[in-house]
């Protein structure tokens, strides 16, 4: 039997039973954005979907549908076999772009095979509307923001707190979700950033297990992280939330940055990033710093970047240290996490 559902109702099934969402769109569609933890089993792969789309525009809807069915028919048994295997472990929810041909075709075959199936009646578009509505509303949780100069280890502190029993699932690693460290060097050594839509999906999913009576801890960020924008509702909550300031010596910060960025693995990318700072540091200094990186000399370069670029920039864009609700020594990540967790417990 085929059951039609909207996304919200289908998602809520997970409260009482095991559910697997199956995305039958193409690989590119899935990569751009998808329901969290959905399994991608394409009915039409990237190439076939493109050809179908061209037919639709150049010839017509009916011809495109016929072509699509002709391509689906030979591979449908294998696709259904994969889904049947998954159905033995969880309740199956299938979706395509807008609840059209692709999910209908698979659901019909599964119904013939007597496999219970739920189909999202508005497909991915219904899910996307759900996410958009979430981010258009005020952020529903109290927010505490962890600030501090570049290199103090804010992300590590947040991740340490995230595994503490009292605050598990109550932190957001914005840089981790955005795939960027939020600086001129932020993309070095990392995979390409997700799409804006996928970031918003990941961010929404991170809030799913939050408790409403506990504060949510996030790292202080500007509105933009690389190519990603923080949704207005969360960013506004960050602007209004209480703030913690983490501090450390410049010597420790230099060591932490070198440990995180591993400049020996990507010297050319670092040189390119330094050269992009010519307008702020001047040509002579950027040439000198770039040459030091090429020579394998890292510590002095990092120290100069902190003193001459990042620290003045931070002081200009962030609030005065005297306005913070808590200051914490970040020299030891575990100790800093413990101090902050105790502060959060009293909020």
DSSP labels, 40-89: E--SS-HHHHHHHHHHHHHT-HHHHHHHHHHHHHHHHHHHHHHHHHHHTT
What digits encode the pLDDT tens for the residues 40-83?
999 887 776 766 766 667 676 677 677 777 777 788 888 999 99
Domain edge (last residue) among 118, 133, 148? 133
Of the chain, the percentage scoring pLDDT greater than 90 comes to 77
According to DSSP, the residues that pair with 4 across neighbouring strands are 119
What digits encode the pLDDT tens for the residues 138-191?
999 999 999 999 999 999 999 999 998 877 779 999 999 999 998 889 999 899
Is the model's pLDDT at 331 over the cut of 90?
A: yes
Q: Is 117 helix (H, G, I), strand (E, B) or coil?
A: strand
Q: Tell me the C-alpha distance between 217 and 183, whole Å.
A: 20
User: Structural domain of residue 159, as residue ranges?
Assistant: 140-345
Domain with 112 in it: what CATH number?
A: 3.40.250.10
Domain match, 223 and 283 both: yes
Domain match, 162 and 65 both: no
**Exactly one of 64, 79, 92, 96 is catalytic; which is it?**
96
Is the model's pLDDT at 22 over the cut of 60?
A: yes
Domain edge (last residue) among 105, 133, 161? 133
Q: What pLDDT does 60 receive? A: 65
Only one residue has tokens 């200094």, namely 285
Q: What pLDDT does 102 receive? A: 86
What digits encode the pLDDT tens for the residues 252-263?
999 999 999 999
Domain match, 171 and 121 both: no
For the chain, the domain total comes to: 2
Q: What pLDDT does 319 receive? A: 55
Domain match, 265 and 329 both: yes
Domain match, 208 and 72 both: no
**Known catalytic residue at 96:** yes
């Amino acid at each position: 039997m085929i059951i039609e559902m909207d996304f919200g109702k289908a998602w809520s099934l997970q409260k009482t039973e095991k559910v697997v969402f199956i995305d039958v769109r193409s690989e590119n569609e899935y990569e751009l954005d998808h329901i969290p933890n959905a399994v991608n089993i394409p009915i039409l792969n990237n190439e076939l979907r493109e050809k179908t789309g061209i037919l639709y525009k150049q010839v017509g809807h009916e011809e495109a549908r016929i072509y699509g069915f002709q391509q689906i028919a030979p591979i449908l048994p294998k696709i259904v076999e994969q889904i049947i295997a998954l159905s033995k472990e969880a309740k199956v929810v299938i979706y395509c772009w807008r609840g059209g041909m692709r999910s209908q075709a698979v659901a019909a075959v599964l119904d013939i095979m007597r496999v219970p199936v739920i189909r999202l009646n508005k497909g991915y578009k219904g899910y996307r509307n759900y996410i958009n509505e979430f981010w258009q509303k005020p952020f529903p949780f109290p927010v505490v923001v962890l600030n501090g100069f570049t290199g103090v280890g804010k992300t590590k502190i947040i991740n340490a707190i995230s595994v503490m029993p009292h605050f598990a699932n109550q932190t957001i690693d914005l840089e981790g979700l955005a795939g960027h460290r939020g600086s001129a060097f932020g993309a070095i050594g990392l995979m390409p950033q997700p799409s804006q839509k996928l970031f918003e999906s990941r961010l929404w999913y991170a809030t799913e297990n939050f408790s409403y009576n506990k504060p949510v801890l996030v790292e202080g960020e500007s509105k933009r992280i690389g190519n990603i924008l923080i949704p207005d509702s969360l960013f506004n909550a960050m602007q209004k939330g209480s703030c913690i300031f983490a501090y450390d010596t410049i010597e420790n910060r230099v060591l932490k940055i070198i440990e995180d960025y591993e400049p020996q693995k990507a010297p050319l990318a670092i040189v390119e990033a330094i050269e992009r700072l010519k307008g702020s540091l001047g040509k002579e200094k950027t040439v000198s710093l770039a040459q030091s990186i090429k020579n394998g000399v890292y510590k002095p370069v990092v120290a100069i970047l902190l003193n001459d670029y990042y620290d003045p920039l931070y002081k200009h864009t962030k609030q005065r240290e005297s306005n913070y609700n808590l200051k914490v020594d970040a020299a030891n990540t575990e100790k800093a996490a413990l101090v902050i967790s105790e502060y959060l417990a009293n909020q």
